[in-house]
Amino acid sequence: MKVLLLAALNSAHTIKWANALADRGVEVIVAGFVESDTSQFNRDIQTFSFGLPASLNAKSFGSFAKLRYLLALPKLKSLLRKVKPDIMHAHLASSYGLLGSLSGFHPFIVSVWGFDVYS
């Protein structure tokens, strides 16, 4: 099985999920908005950055800053064609969940962590 995780590459949760899946024989690809250190991922996990600016994560920019998430949509669609995952799993509804939904890919899962519901 091949799973594409849409999540922050530097998140402890992302690293745990990806490594646990890979340890169980799942082929894992992790894609995030910004470049990050990926050394904590198992070596067989592929990582991909959409190349958005690190300032995207700054809360001081307000709600309209989230429109920049849409810049990653063409890159996500290209990645989906390239890796052909069996499942796409997004972490956080208001960012990666939105992006995944707009991609039109199915089957698609969104994990809501709580704080993202209010952001």
- Reported confidence tier of residue 59, pLDDT bands at 50, 70, 90: low
What pLDDT is stored for residue 67 in this prediction?
A: 78
pLDDT tens, position by position, 72-116: 999 999 999 999 999 999 998 878 999 999 999 999 999 987 654
pLDDT tens, position by position, 4-30: 999 999 999 999 999 999 999 999 999
Q: Terminus-to-terminus CA distance in the chain, angstroms?
A: 32
Q: Whole-structure pTM over 0.85, yes or no?
A: yes
Q: Which domains does the chain have, with CATH numbers?
A: 2-118 (3.40.50.2000)
